[in-house]
Amino acid sequence: MDRKSRHAGSWYEGSKKSLTQQIHNLFIDEQWGYGKDPLENLEDRVDDSHLIGIVSPHAGFVYSGPIASHGFAEVFKRFETINTVIILGPNHQGMGAPISFYPGGLWENPLGSLRVDTEFVNYAKSYDFGSIQSRIGFEHLAHINEHSIDIQLPFLQYLYKNEFEIAPISLGDQSFDPVVSSLSTFLSDYISSHPEKRILIVSSSDFSHEHNYDLVVKNDKTMLTYLESMNLKEAEQFRQRIRMTMCGYAPVFTLIQTAKNLGSASVEILKYANSTDIRPGGGYTVGYASILVRSS
């Protein structure tokens, strides 16, 4: 089944020309964006086989797009080509399987069509997920209206055209144990067994959602400190203790744990800001972070 974006024209621009221009403007934004367009700075590129993935926000481009630009620019700087992008996103809609793999077909938006990596899907279908096996589904329902994965794709298409495949995984169940531990084991096993493939994981998450600006900054700063030191159990305990409104915590924790499974991991906070910083005047504030995750 092919999926047409339901967010083009609202969460991001709706035509190829306007969306291309929008992404360019987000990259060159000197206040919150990367400050330059990666396509115009090809001499900066260096191969980095240790890059595992990025954490990227998923609000509308006018809000979180400048922060997201940092992660994608750093990916382009380090990966000349990508074979498969595994995208982990929270399920805001509550539909579909608790852990939903998109089973196949094309994802379409104004920048073109991306094919789902069926080899990855078949690997997952034959994989023993242990205690979370019954929560796994290969279906479309969790993805049809969900924005958290969809909104990552235009940045990648702007940089790499449509010359990569995708593996979308929507997480309605974000439990730390056993989902994060089991899913990160699966991902590290897949990456280890496919050394010939350039694989990138994109973990889609916004951080705190509050009506209190200072509380957002305080809570996000603490969470980012835990993530930077890769203290995931402490990060999850903190999230639960304060009831932190971070919507994609399992995708973030899964990416970092996958990197730890693969070797000596490192986490770099590339850029942090929130919706009130970027577009002042609103009473409701959402935190955004762009984070680089590597493993050697």
3-state secondary structure string, the chain? CCEECCCECCCECCCHHHHHHHHHHHHHCCCCCCCCCHHHCHHHCCCCCCEEEEEECCCCHHHHHHHHHHHHHHHHHHCCCCCEEEEEEECCCCCCCCEEECCCCEEEECCEEEEECHHHHHHHHHCCCHHHHHHEEECCCCCCCCCCCHHHHHHHHHHHCCCCEEEEEEECCCCHHHHHHHHHHHHHHHHHHCCCCCEEEEEECCCCEECCHHHHHHHHHHHHHHHHCCCHHHHHHHHHHHCCCCCCHHHHHHHHHHHHHHCCEEEEEEEEEEHHHHCCCCCCEEEEEEEEEEEC
pLDDT category of residue 283 using cuts at 50, 70 and 90 = confident
pLDDT of residue 125: 98
Question: How much is the average pLDDT of 250-262?
Answer: 98
**pLDDT tens, 258-281?**
999 999 999 999 999 999 999 998
pLDDT of residue 15: 98
pLDDT beyond 90 at 59: yes
pLDDT of residue 249: 97
pLDDT of residue 229: 97
Average pLDDT across the chain, whole number: 97
pLDDT beyond 90 at 43: no
pLDDT of residue 44: 84
pLDDT of residue 288: 98
pLDDT category of residue 235 using cuts at 50, 70 and 90 = very high
- Give the bridge partners for 262, in sequence order: none
pLDDT of residue 2: 93
**pLDDT tens, 107-143?**
999 999 999 999 999 999 999 999 999 999 999 999 9
Residue 91, classified by CB atoms within 10 Å of its CB into exposed (0-12), middle (13-18) or buried (19+), is buried
pLDDT category of residue 212 using cuts at 50, 70 and 90 = very high
pLDDT beyond 80 at 196: yes
pLDDT of residue 225: 98
pLDDT category of residue 231 using cuts at 50, 70 and 90 = very high
pLDDT beyond 90 at 193: yes
148 phi-psi bin (left φ>0, alpha ψ -120 to 50, beta other): alpha
Instruction: Respond yes or no on whether the N-terminal peptide bond of residue 103 is cis (omega within 30° of 0).
Output: no
Question: How much is the average pLDDT of 220-235?
Answer: 97
pLDDT of residue 41: 86
Our measurement of the distance from residue 249's CA atom to the centroid of its chain's CA atoms, rounded to an integer in Å, reads 11
pLDDT beyond 90 at 95: yes
Domains of the chain: 3-295 (3.40.830.10)
pLDDT of residue 164: 98
pLDDT of residue 281: 81
188-194 — which CB contacts under 8 Å span 24+ positions? 188/258, 188/261, 188/262, 189/127, 190/120, 190/123, 190/124, 191/52, 191/258, 191/262, 192/262, 193/123
Cβ(74)–Cβ(159) under 8 Å? no
The rounded distance, in Å, linking the Cα atoms of 84 and 163 is 9
Cβ(268)–Cβ(292) under 8 Å? yes
Query: In Å, what is the CA distance from 153 to each residue of 111, 178, 213?
Result: 9, 28, 29
pLDDT of residue 144: 95
Residue 185, number of CB atoms within 10 A of its CB:
18
pLDDT beyond 90 at 166: yes
The rounded distance, in Å, linking the Cα atoms of 99 and 90 is 10
Q: What is the pTM of this model?
A: 0.97
The rounded distance, in Å, linking the Cα atoms of 120 and 199 is 11
